[in-house]
Structure 1
C-alpha cells in the first residue's frame, strides 16, 4: 500500500498497542478468576491459637491451604521458659502434604506455649509464623525472636541480585542467538557480539549457582554464612526449586556446547543448517524457561498446566525482544570497520531492522496476552491490584512495558516511512541506516527500560500473589457473621403460634475462640422468649460432628455461648432448636463461614 492511508496505518497500529496492554489488563482483572493458590497460608491449628487446654496435648498440628515441605524449615514448640518441648521431627499428618504435625513431650506443665513454624509452600517460597496456646492457665510466653521467623538482609539482597541477573542473562542469551541465526549470522564473527553471547551464558550459569546457594538460607531463615554449608546445600538440592536449578545447570551445559558450535559455523552456515541450529536453540531456551515456570507461581493452583505453558511462552517472548535489542545495540554502537579499514561482517541495514521491528511487535503481543492471563490468575480484583505489594509491582511493570512500547514506536516510525518510500524499488540488504543516531538513542532507552522491567519481574516472582495476600488480609480482619432464617414450630396462638425469626451472630468468625449470639423474634421482629432454645454447631466437610453450645439467656430474645472453639476454616452449620410448647419445636440450620 502507498499513499496517506498506508502511511498512517503502521504508526497508528503501534500507537494503539501503547494503550492496549493496560486496557487488556484492566478488562481481564475485572473478569475475576478461580482461586490460584500460591504462597501457602495457615488455615487452622490444633490446638487452636489462644485456646486453653486442661492438659498438655500429645501433638501440635498445622493445616495449610496447599502442600508444604519442612525440610528447609521446621516447627518449634517452646514452654513458658523458652525450652523446646517438641520432638524436633515434624511430619505430614492425615491431611497429606498440606498438614504438618509434630509430637510433644509428655507431662507439660501449666502456662503459655509458643509454636514457631516455617515451611516452604508448593511454589517454592518460604512462609513462617507463630501462635500460642495455654495449658490449664495463661502465663508469660517465650520470646520468639531469633527463631528464624525472618531472613538475613544480606541473604535477601544476594538472592535478589542472583534472581535479577538470571532473568537478564536468560533474556540476553536466548534472544540474541535467535536474532543472529535469523537476521545477522555473519555478525557472530564480531568480537563484541561474541562477548555478548559468552557473558550472557556465563552470567546465567553464575547467577543460577548463586541462587542455588542462597535459596536454602532464605527458605530456612539462616545467616549469610550458611550459604556455604554443605548440609544446607544438600537439603536445598532435594527441594522443588533446588531440582529445577540443577536441571537449569545441566541444560546450560548443553546450551554452552551448542553456543560454541554456533559461533564456529554460523557465519558460513546455509539456510537449512541455520533452521536446524535455530530449532535446536529454541528447544534449549524452552528448557531453560521451564526451570522458572515449573517451580514458581505458575506451577500451583488451578489451571497449572496452562499457566506453566503460558509462563514459558512469556519468558521466550521476553527473550526474543530483549535479546534482539541487545544485539542491535551492540551493532549500532560498535565500529563498522576494523583497524585495517575493512568493513566488519553482519552490519545492520534497513531490511534487518524492519524485520526485527515486526518480530518485536509480535513478541509484545505475546507478552501482553500471557502477562494479562498471569495477572488475571494471580490478582483477580481491583482491591488486590491496588492494595497489595504484588499488585503495585505489577502496575509498575506494566508502566515500564508501556514506556518500552512507546520508545519502540518512536524509534521505528521513521523506518516504516523509509521502507514505504522505497516501496517501488524495494529496500535492499546493505542499504545504509538513516538517522542512525536517533535509532541509537531510542533503542538505548528501550533497552534501559527493559532492564527495569526485568528487575521488577525478579521481585514479582518472589512476592506473594495479590489474590492470596488480599484473601489472607481479609481473613485476619476483625468481623462478625450474621445469618437470619425463619422458623415454624406450629401451634395456635401467641408464642405457641410457633412462627418467627432466628438470627445468629458469630464474632469474630475466625478459627479459634468465638462468641455465638442467638436472637429469637416474632414475625414483626420483636424479641420473644420461647420456653427453650438450644444450639449445636458442626463442620460436615471435615467430619466434625455437632458440638453442643452452652447457651445462656442474657436478655429478652437473646442467648449467648462464649468461648466456642472453631478449630478449622470452612462453612460451619449452626443448628438452632426453638421449642414453643410442650410438643411444638422447630430446628433451623444456619450456614456460618469461618475463615
Structure 2
C-alpha cells in the first residue's frame, strides 16, 4: 500500500513538471513592438510629423502615451497615442517639428490583457548623432512606485480570494458541525481584504497604466478612464460579486441547503471569471478555452490552497475533526489532478519553447514556482500518510509548513501574471564604428533581426577635415548557410550619410562589406560581421 502511494505521488510530481516542459507555438500574451516610424536608430533628413508604433497585438490607448526626450534627457514632447483606424495593432501620435539632433522615444501602452508595457528607442535628425544610451536606459527602467504597489495588490487579492472561496467550500462541504468563531472571522477577513484590494486596484490602475506617480491615486478622471477599460469593468464586477458573496457568509448557517450551495458555487465561478478576464488567458486563442482552463485552475487551487490556509489559521478547530480532514485530503488530491490537466492546457497555450524557461523572466519564475508546487505536493503526500496513520492531531506543524510554501507560490504567481510569457521581438539595432585609411564609418542595422531592415552608414574623416563622399556600395552574405555575398544598393540621405533597405532571410552572423568612395579615384573597404537574430 505504501509503495503504491509513493508511486502515485511520484507520478503526480512528474506530470506537474511535464506540464511546464511542453514546448508549443502560441500568440503572445503581452504586446511587443515589432516596428516603428521612425525606426530605431534611424537617421532622418528632416523631422518626422508623427510617431507610429506597430505591435504584435491590439493595444489599449486609454492610458497610452509617447514621450520624446532630447539627448540630455529633457522632455520636449508628451503626446497621447491614438489607434489607427485601419489596424488596431497600430498606434500613432502627431508631434511638432524637431530640430537636428538625437532623440529618445519612450512609449507606454496597455496590452490586450490589461498589463502596461513600456519601451524606448532613439533616432537622429541631420548629419550628426549623440550617444543617448543612458537616456534610453533611464526611460525604459522608469517603473514608478505603482508597479510594486500593484504586485502587493495582486498578492493580497490572490491570497484572500483563495482563502475565501476554498475556506467557504471547506465549511460548506467538509464540516458537519458549526464553524468556530475564528473560522467565521477568518472568512470575513479574507472577504474584506479581497474587497479592499479590488477597490484599491480600481483606483491604482489608471496611474499604473499611464505611468504617473503614486499621488495620482486620487485622480477621479483616471478612475473614470479606468472604468472604460476591460480591467475596470472586470474589477468592478468582482467588487459587486464580493458584496453579493457577503450574503453567503451571513447565511452560512444554511450551508446545507441546496439554494445556498448552488448560489455560493455560482458566485465563486463568477469571481474566478472576473480574474481570468484580465489575465493572460484573455489574450490567448481560443479565448473561450483559455479562460475556461484558467477559471477551473483557479477554483482547483482555491479548494486545495484556500482550504489549507483556513485550516492553518484555525488549526485548533479543524485538526480535531478526522472527518473534515479526510474530506479535505480527498478534495486536495482531486484538485492536484485538475491542476495538472489545466496546467498542461495553459502551458500549451502560453509557452513558446523549452529554452524560454531559462532565458526569460517569466520562464525562470515559473520554473521556481513549479518546483515549489512539486515540494508542496510531496509535503501533502506526507501529511496524508500521517493523517491515515496517526490522525489529524499530528498535523499541526506540517500544515503550517505547507501553508508557508503555498504562500510563497502565491507571491510568485502575483509577479508572474504581469510578465510576458514569451520572448518579445527584439528591436535592438546592431551598431559598430569602423576605422580604415583615415576614415571612420558608423554602421547601424535596425532592427538587427530576420526580415526587412535598414542599414545606415555615416562616414567622416579621422582628422576632422571636410569630407564629401562620392558614393557608397555594399554586399552582404551568410557563409554559415553558404549564401554568397549579394549587392546592396545605398541611397544618399544626407551629407556623407547613406541608407539601404535589406531583407535578412535567416538568423546568423552575416558578412557585411561596405565600399566607400571618398574621391573619384579612391575606394575604402569596411568589413564587419552583423549578428541577425530571430
Give your verdict on TM over 0.5.
Answer: yes
Checking the alignment, whether the CA contact within 8 Å between 1:80 and 1:139 is kept in structure 2 is no
- How large is the Cα RMSD of the aligned pairs? 3.6
| 1:33 CA drift (Å) | 1.8
In the alignment, structure 1 segments of 5+ residues that lack a partner are 1-5, 335-345, 418-433, 480-505, 536-548, 553-560, 572-592
Q: Deviations over 1:510-544 (max 9, x none)?
A: 665238625799xxx9999xxxx977xxxxxxxxx
Q: Deviations over 1:482-506 (max 9, x none)?
A: xxxxxxxxxxxxxxxxxxxxxxxx9
Task: Within 5 Å, give how 1:305-320 maps onto structure 2.
Answer: 305-320=288-303
User: Match of 1:114, SS?
Assistant: strand
Match of residue 260 from structure 2? 277
1:328 matches 2:318: no
Cα distance in 2, alignment partners of residues 227 and 23 from structure 1? 42
Match of residue 337 from structure 2? 365
Task: Within 5 Å, give how 1:114-133 maps onto structure 2.
Answer: 114-133=104-123
Of the candidates 265, 271, 286, which is equivalent to residue 254 of structure 2?
Answer: 265
Match of residue 451 from structure 1? 407
| 1:570 CA drift (Å) | 11
Match of residue 225 from structure 2? 235
Shift in alpha-carbon separation, 1:130–1:526, aligned structure 2, 3 A: closer
1:33 matches 2:24: yes
Of the candidates 194, 209, 214, which is equivalent to residue 219 of structure 1?
Answer: 209
Cα distance in 1, alignment partners of residues 505 and 240 from structure 2? 43
Match of residue 555 from structure 1? none
Match of residue 455 from structure 2? 514
User: Match of 1:63, SS?
Assistant: strand
Larger Rg: 1
In the alignment, structure 2 segments of 5+ residues that lack a partner are 432-446, 457-473, 508-531
Cα distance in 2, alignment partners of residues 352 and 302 from structure 1? 40
Shift in alpha-carbon separation, 1:157–1:82, aligned structure 2, 3 A: closer
Q: Deviations over 1:96-140 (max 9, x none)?
A: 22111111235x433333322111111211111222223332344
1:194 matches 2:135: no
Cα distance in 1, alignment partners of residues 114 and 483 from structure 2? 56
Q: Deviations over 1:417-444 (max 9, x none)?
A: 5xxxxxxxxxxxxxxxx44442222222
Shift in alpha-carbon separation, 1:517–1:71, aligned structure 2, 3 A: same
Match of residue 461 from structure 2? none
Cα distance in 2, alignment partners of residues 104 and 312 from structure 1? 44
Cα distance in 1, alignment partners of residues 268 and 120 from structure 2? 42
Cα distance in 1, alignment partners of residues 498 and 283 from structure 2? 39
| 1:326 CA drift (Å) | 3.1
Checking the alignment, whether the CA contact within 8 Å between 1:49 and 1:512 is kept in structure 2 is no
| 1:162 CA drift (Å) | 1.2
Cα distance in 2, alignment partners of residues 435 and 367 from structure 1? 27
| 1:219 CA drift (Å) | 2.0
Q: Deviations over 1:164-217 (max 9, x none)?
A: 0100011100011111111214333x2111111101111100111222222222
Match of residue 385 from structure 1? 357
Match of residue 540 from structure 1? none
Cα distance in 1, alignment partners of residues 477 and 392 from structure 2? 80
| 1:85 CA drift (Å) | 6.5
1:52 matches 2:43: yes
Cα distance in 1, alignment partners of residues 484 and 202 from structure 2? 66
Of the candidates 309, 319, 323, which is equivalent to residue 351 of structure 1?
Answer: 323
Shift in alpha-carbon separation, 1:294–1:507, aligned structure 2, 3 A: closer
Match of residue 146 from structure 2? 155
Cα distance in 1, alignment partners of residues 503 and 44 from structure 2? 13
Checking the alignment, whether the CA contact within 8 Å between 2:103 and 2:122 is kept in structure 1 is yes
Cα distance in 2, alignment partners of residues 526 and 210 from structure 1? 58
Checking the alignment, whether the CA contact within 8 Å between 2:156 and 2:193 is kept in structure 1 is yes
Checking the alignment, whether the CA contact within 8 Å between 2:235 and 2:274 is kept in structure 1 is yes
Cα distance in 2, alignment partners of residues 565 and 242 from structure 1? 43
TM value normalised by structure 2: 0.78
Match of residue 18 from structure 1? 13
Of the candidates 469, 472, 486, which is equivalent to residue 425 of structure 2?
Answer: 472
Match of residue 493 from structure 1? none
Shift in alpha-carbon separation, 1:511–1:225, aligned structure 2, 3 A: farther
Moved more, 298-307 or 325-334: 325-334
Checking the alignment, whether the CA contact within 8 Å between 1:38 and 1:123 is kept in structure 2 is yes
Cα distance in 2, alignment partners of residues 437 and 527 from structure 1? 76
Cα distance in 2, alignment partners of residues 235 and 445 from structure 1? 43
Match of residue 67 from structure 2? 76
Shift in alpha-carbon separation, 1:261–1:527, aligned structure 2, 3 A: closer
Checking the alignment, whether the CA contact within 8 Å between 2:319 and 2:393 is kept in structure 1 is no
1:438 matches 2:394: yes
Shift in alpha-carbon separation, 1:411–1:127, aligned structure 2, 3 A: same
| 1:508 CA drift (Å) | 6.0
Checking the alignment, whether the CA contact within 8 Å between 1:86 and 1:103 is kept in structure 2 is no
1:98 matches 2:34: no
Moved more, 381-390 or 78-87: 78-87
| 1:229 CA drift (Å) | 2.0
| 1:377 CA drift (Å) | 2.9
Count residues in correspondence: 470
Q: Deviations over 1:371-420 (max 9, x none)?
A: 23323333332210112211111111111111111111111114445xxx
Cα distance in 2, alignment partners of residues 301 and 392 from structure 1? 21
Shift in alpha-carbon separation, 1:568–1:35, aligned structure 2, 3 A: farther
1:395 matches 2:351: no
